[in-house]
Amino acid sequence: MKVAIVGAGPAGTLTSLNLSEKAEIVIFEAKQSPGFPVKCGGLISEDCFKELKKYCKVERSLINKIRGAFFISPSGKYAEVAGKTGSAVIERKILDSMLLKEAGKIADIRMKSRVFEISENTIKIVSQKEKYSEAFDAVIGADGAESIVAKELGFERPEIFSGKQYLMEFEAIQKDMVELYFGKRYSDGFFGYAIPLSEDVARVGVVSRENPSQYLERLIDEHPSVSERIGRSVFEVNSGAIPIGLINFVMGNAVLIGDAAGMVKPYTGGGIYYLLKAAEMLGEFFPDLRKFRQTYMSRLSREYTVGERIRRLYDILDTKDYDTLVEIAREIDFSEVHMDRPSTALSALPKIFKMVKNVSLASKMVRAFFQFQ
Ligand SMILES: Cc1cc2nc3c(=O)[nH]c(=O)nc-3n(C[C@H](O)[C@H](O)[C@H](O)COP(=O)(O)OP(=O)(O)OC[C@H]3O[C@@H](n4cnc5c(N)ncnc54)[C@H](O)[C@@H]3O)c2cc1C
């Protein structure tokens, strides 16, 4: 069976590595090197990091180890939260190129080859200004948030948020803690963050429905906790799309995987873990794409649903609400909460509701968690 994978990011390479025994694979990649320019904070859970060891020497990409997060309100109040596992800060350029090298051992990889049209299972490619077409038994769209495979084949599209991030001088509260900055002043529908690489260098960014640049400047210039810890040097600027909302990712002999399918945690924007799970399940069930979809949904749809309900809070909470929740969070035991599985946080909800004395905040939380939209 001959399979085309469009895109050599982690979704494309991990999928090829999981399909190697079942198909003859050709990967088409538009760029000269995937993973560059970087569009990622590089934060993944310890479990995800360990699972990636099956595919490459992921420890080579490790920059820092993280044990938890500070949840910070717009007024600067914060709670320290440490879940079930820690996380790792990795360098995506290194991870993506190691995965590409491994994929190259089992697949025909065609770099600088952009897919521009697809009809049925014939795809059209432009490479070095030459156009050609080729037929495949199945097409896998691993071509990111702006997926051409999805557009050409008429898949629905997720909502697109945007991320902008500086690699910059920044004095972390603690080197092994990420910082999350909530509030509508710093993002439309999401949050800002700092991911430390060392004591004084971090990836400082904002994910937002719109205008991440404007919110990032405001975070850096005005946030009571951030502005005084920012240094002068910016070493790198990265930005990219973040698709929020898993869509139906199987149609006929075509399947979408990774950002192309909205396989991103709706409450953090992290995509690596959910696409890794998808690549493994696709490998397990291929060529039965319906079974793949069914299994992925039965194992993960609850996580997407709970994740989206958490994200709804970012649209409706105000500064006072965050101040209250940060105080409550200090009293809650998060030790069983897993960053990749938001459903593990649900057991804390009754206690949180009990501690919320403010009726308006309680009703916002009911709206986010229990009302269908
Ligand atoms: C600012 C920001 C911060 C983030 N931080 C994190 C984080 O900390 N942790 C985390 O887990 N996730 C994070 N993410 C999300 C993560 O980067 C993505 O989920 C992940 O890169 C998705 O991988 P992918 O392979 O699906 O897509 P991509 O990495 O986008 O790869 C798609 C590939 O397809 C190629 N392509 C596109 N169109 C074509 C075409 N027509 N023909 C051929 N090739 C094509 C592209 O060149 C690209 O190489 C972040 C994203 C952003 C924007």
The band of 373, judged by pLDDT with boundaries at 50, 70 and 90, is: low
pLDDT > 70 fraction of the chain, expressed in percent and rounded:
99
Checking if the pLDDT of 59 tops 90, the result is yes
Q: 192: Cβ below 6 Å to ligand 1?
A: no
Q: How many CB atoms lie within 10 A of CB 240?
A: 20
What 3-state class would DSSP assign to 302? helix
Token pair recorded at residue 363: 């009703």
Chain segment 75-94, per-residue pLDDT in tens:
999 999 998 899 999 999 99
What is the mean pLDDT of the segment spanning 294-309? 97
Residue 123, Cα to own-chain centre: how many angstroms?
28
Within a domain: 238: no
- 144 CA → ligand 1 middle, Å: 5
Its domain, for residue 7, covers 2-60+91-158+244-307
The answer, yes or no, to whether the previous bond of 287 is cis (omega within 30 of 0) is yes
**In sequence order, what are the residues at sequence separation of 6 or more whose Cβ sits closer than 8 angstroms to the Cβ of residue 21?**
none
Q: 72: Cβ below 6 Å to ligand 1?
A: no
**In sequence order, what are the residues at sequence separation of 6 or more whose Cβ sits closer than 8 angstroms to the Cβ of residue 85?**
45, 46, 47, 338, 339
Within a domain: 208: no
Segment (H or E) for 28: strand 24-28
Within a domain: 222: no
- 346 CA → ligand 1 middle, Å: 29
**In sequence order, what are the residues at sequence separation of 6 or more whose Cβ sits closer than 8 angstroms to the Cβ of residue 214?**
none
Chain segment 260-287, per-residue pLDDT in tens:
999 999 999 999 999 999 999 999 999 9
Q: What is the CATH number of the domain that holds 25?
A: 3.50.50.60
Checking if the pLDDT of 66 tops 80, the result is yes
Q: Ligand 1: which residue has its CA nearest to atom 26?
A: 258
> Residue 195 CA: which ligand 1 atom is closest?
8
> Residue 96 CA: which ligand 1 atom is closest?
29
Per-residue pLDDT at 370: 87
Within a domain: 192: no
- 143 CA → ligand 1 middle, Å: 8
What is the mean pLDDT of the segment spanning 295-320? 96
Q: 338: Cβ below 6 Å to ligand 1?
A: no
Within a domain: 181: no
- What 106-110 contacts at long range (C-beta under 8 Å, 24+ apart), as own/partner pairs, is 106/16, 106/17, 106/20, 106/25, 107/5, 107/16, 107/20, 107/25, 107/26, 107/27, 108/25, 108/26, 108/27, 109/8, 109/26, 109/27, 109/29, 110/26, 110/27, 110/28, 110/29
Token pair recorded at residue 174: 């603690």
- 198 CA → ligand 1 middle, Å: 24
Whole-structure pTM value: 0.96
> Residue 116 CA: which ligand 1 atom is closest?
41
Within a domain: 95: yes
Average pLDDT of every residue of the chain? 96
Chain segment 160-181, per-residue pLDDT in tens:
999 999 999 999 999 999 999 9
Q: 266: Cβ below 6 Å to ligand 1?
A: no
Q: Could you give the number of structural domains in the chain?
A: 1
- 260 CA → ligand 1 middle, Å: 9
Within a domain: 140: yes
Within a domain: 105: yes
Terminal Cα distance for the chain, rounded = 42
Q: 30: Cβ below 6 Å to ligand 1?
A: yes
